[in-house]
Structure 1
Amino acid sequence: MAERKPIESWLTDMDGVLIHEGIPIKGADAFLSRLRESGKPFLVLTNNSMQTPRDLHARLARMGLDVPVDNIWTSALATAQFLDDQRPGGTAYVIGEAGLTTAMHDIGYVLTDAQPDYVVLGETRTYSFEALTRAIRLINNGSRFIATNPDETGPSAEGPLPATGSVAALITKATGQEPYFVGKPNPLMMRAGLNKIGAHSETSAMIGDRMDTDMLAGLEAGMETFLVLTGISSPAEVDRHPFRPSTVVDSIADLVERV
């Protein structure tokens, strides 16, 4: 394997890396503190589109983790930026929470169910039959189908919950139209994040707990990748994939000295 350049910037997933079911993972605070002290650019990423960066900042702060608002990058922000690049000042029918609707408003999009340019599907805990029916009819009438992320399930204290990818599959079955997924593992989200902090993939690293999203996204974006074993993927799963992370570590605590 070709020797990589020193790491000058870091991207890290949130759930399964820094926190797990609302509790900080050991070493997360030390890692974030080292990042802030180093002055190196960094981003905390999440495929979950429900909350705004300000909401996530407050949520992490309650757990004792200090992540500035400007260092949080969500699939909602990436989706809004993508649509602003594709069709500035457009219209969209949005299914999602405040994280997504706020991001869409901030780029100047009009949210409407009257012949919108796009149907944008995000995460919510209250998917309604009426909203999904409306989305299906709009897509059948020509609206383009966008989804914030392909995750099929999300975590909860009671067990897995259906997430954006599962609901998108329902809409696809009813319309025959596949969505364009903006979030991980689409390297678009990673590259947009790198651009946000002025970083380059050759000198950047991605930390994550999922082979199918975090590691794949980092790999395809040309970044060094670190898989932590405090979340979804297990060592056995690593060997089942046709690609590998650059390094596998037990937890974020093992990377503190790498910053």
Structure 2
Amino acid sequence: MHKDNRTYQKAFIMDMDGVVYTGSHLISGSGEFVGKLQQGGYKFLFLTNNSYHKPLEIRDRLMGMGIDVPEDCFYTSAMATASFLRVQRPEGCSAYVIGGPGIVEELEKAGITITSDRPDYVIVAETEQYDYAKIIEATLLIQEGAKFIATNPDLTGPSLRGPVPACGALVAPIERVTGVPPYFLGKPNPAMMFWARKKLGVHSANCFMIGDRMDTDIVGGLESGMTTCLVLSGVTSRETMNRFPYQPDYVFENLWEIDPGSILSRRDRVENAMPDS
């Protein structure tokens, strides 16, 4: 009975690009898998390192592909950054921001003052408004004492013409000049995984992390105590997977192969393998 009760508490956290869709195309079986989660009453969350878009914009994009889920089914690295600052500075703080509308909205919702006048933090995120003047300002503010954080360590992001610089690349000139590395809040930081699970209200032992990247999704889930599922519909192949010192609990071709009702958590697999006392 105890194991059955845990089964009903299962929850699923999914990366998006390479797992649910690639570019503007839904990966075959993704919609059906989300439908199984909805029909089975499972808690689930879409997790993305992209801090540029607001959750409502991401929801509308998925709806355009045929997946209809509420806005609160998304958790972004911008939200993780705001959560981090609320925990670190509950009395309030200020930040100089190089980033898009997603990070700006989350910081404003958290009551964080956005300013270039002696800010507590310099925050870098994905943006289409990145220029030399902003690099200079961020560099000077950090040298004057502002703490340096960034939404995620991703070096590249996808575009129709190929990879483009993402947050991890945008911080490079600032880090080189100041000698100060940023603190990254997005995957694989376990803090982001913790706040995502907190949003769902589930324990790590009952939570499954599904992703296509070994160096963010799988290691982040592993270090957070979740059961990890690698799907081969994105950037990782079986060959490249085997090069890593850590391995996922499960490997699937795509989301369609995952049966949320029968898949076992790492804890349940261990307990089922133990002889009855």
TM bracket (short chain) = over 0.9
Indicate whether 1:116 and 2:131 are aligned.
no
> Contact 1:30 / 1:256 at 8 angstroms: preserved in 2?
no
Indicate whether 1:160 and 2:163 are aligned.
yes
Match of 1:33 in 2: 35
What letter corresponds to residue 25 of structure 1 in structure 2?
Answer: I
**Separation in 2 of the partners of 1:20 and 1:232?**
10
Alignment of 1:53-132 (within 5 A): 53-88=55-90, 89-132=92-135
Indicate whether 1:207 and 2:207 are aligned.
no
Secondary structure in 1 aligned to 2:128?
A: coil
Secondary structure in 1 aligned to 2:258?
A: helix
**Separation in 2 of the partners of 1:81 and 1:251?**
31
Secondary structure in 2 aligned to 1:240?
A: coil
Match of 1:244 in 2: 247
Cα-to-partner distance string for 1:35-72 (whole Å, 9 max, x where unaligned): 11111111100000001111111111111111211110
Cα-to-partner distance string for 1:78-121 (whole Å, 9 max, x where unaligned): 10011011113210001111100000000001100011000011
The TM-score with structure 1 as length reference comes to 0.96
**Separation in 2 of the partners of 1:118 and 1:56?**
27
Q: 1:133 aligns with which of 136, 150, 167?
A: 136
**Separation in 1 of the partners of 2:42 and 2:74?**
15
How far residue 167 of structure 1 moved from its aligned partner, in angstroms, is 1.5
How far residue 33 of structure 1 moved from its aligned partner, in angstroms, is 1.0
Cα-to-partner distance string for 1:139-188 (whole Å, 9 max, x where unaligned): 11100001000001111111111111112222111110011101000010
Gaps of 5+ in 1: none
**Separation in 1 of the partners of 2:60 and 2:156?**
24
How far residue 258 of structure 1 moved from its aligned partner, in angstroms, is 4.3
The TM-score with structure 2 as length reference comes to 0.90
Count residues with an aligned counterpart. Answer: 256
Secondary structure in 2 aligned to 1:207?
A: strand
Match of 2:275 in 1: none
Deviates more, 1:202-211 or 1:62-71: 62-71
**Separation in 1 of the partners of 2:222 and 2:260?**
22
Indicate whether 1:45 and 2:47 are aligned.
yes
> Contact 1:49 / 1:148 at 8 angstroms: preserved in 2?
yes
Identity, in percent, stands at 45
**Separation in 2 of the partners of 1:33 and 1:132?**
44
What letter corresponds to residue 22 of structure 2 in structure 1?
Answer: H
Secondary structure in 1 aligned to 2:103?
A: helix
Match of 2:273 in 1: none
**Separation in 1 of the partners of 2:165 and 2:202?**
34
> Contact 1:32 / 1:66 at 8 angstroms: preserved in 2?
no
**Separation in 2 of the partners of 1:170 and 1:150?**
14
**Separation in 2 of the partners of 1:230 and 1:40?**
23
**Separation in 1 of the partners of 2:62 and 2:107?**
23
**Separation in 2 of the partners of 1:68 and 1:234?**
32
> Contact 2:100 / 2:125 at 8 angstroms: preserved in 1?
yes
How far residue 126 of structure 1 moved from its aligned partner, in angstroms, is 3.2
> Contact 1:91 / 1:110 at 8 angstroms: preserved in 2?
yes
How far residue 124 of structure 1 moved from its aligned partner, in angstroms, is 1.3
What letter corresponds to residue 45 of structure 1 in structure 2?
Answer: L
